[in-house]
Amino acid sequence: MSSSRTTSTFGRPAGRGRGGWWGVESATVRPITGPGPEGSLTRGSYDARVTDFGVLLSLAGVVFVDALHERLAEEGYPEFTVRSGWVLRTLGDDELSLRDLAERMDLSSPGALKAINPMLDAGYLERAGTSDKRVRAVRVTERGRAALACASAFHAEFEASLAAAVGAADAAATRRGLESLVERGSAHLPRALMP
């Protein structure tokens, strides 16, 4: 392990938490030098000095998710996953049958059951109206609401830390770019994920 490890936005060693960046301690991101011949690539070209956009986007997602999981574990929600957030946001204040939840999330019923079982065990969800395990309707518990509120607060903190690092205008431009990507790809996203 190198003593010159990089640190994350939150001052923690990079590559920690939930397996790090696929088992490596840190990653080197090569910046694009800007528009023009030196910083832009043509279709079909490759420049090892430039981190491909999709790779950079994926790495940013890993950095965010690792930091989110670390924070949630510190706050007492170690079982919380990205899928947990998706389920909790989909349910909201509703009580849904497994079939209705699966439909909203664009999952099969077995896929939805696989998503909710660990959440039932962790206390984020409860069976609605009965303790009969054959009844497959669920709702969010107070613990689930608290975990989602903690995750939501972290999202805001992470975005604020980006603004502090690159400036409010660049952080706002990053958000607009991400929103544009989501909007353009919305036909491929489950309805439950759409704002």
Instruction: Say what the pLDDT of residue 31 is.
Output: 52
Q: Where are the domains of the chain?
A: 1-74, 76-185
Do residues 79 and 122 lie in contact, with contact meaning Cβ atoms separated by under 8 Å?
yes
**Averaged over 72-98, what is the pLDDT?**
95
* The model's pTM: 0.70
CATH of domain 76-185: 1.10.10.10
Q: What are phi and psi of 144, to 5 degrees?
A: -65, -45
pLDDT digits (tens, 9 = 90+) for 129-173: 766 566 579 999 999 999 999 999 999 999 999 999 999 999 999
Sign of torsion, CA 151 153 159 162?
negative
Q: What is the mean pLDDT of the chain?
A: 79
Q: Give the distance from CA 86 to its chain's centroid.
A: 9
Supply 31's token pair.
């910046």
CA angle 47, 50, 52 (to 5 degrees): 95
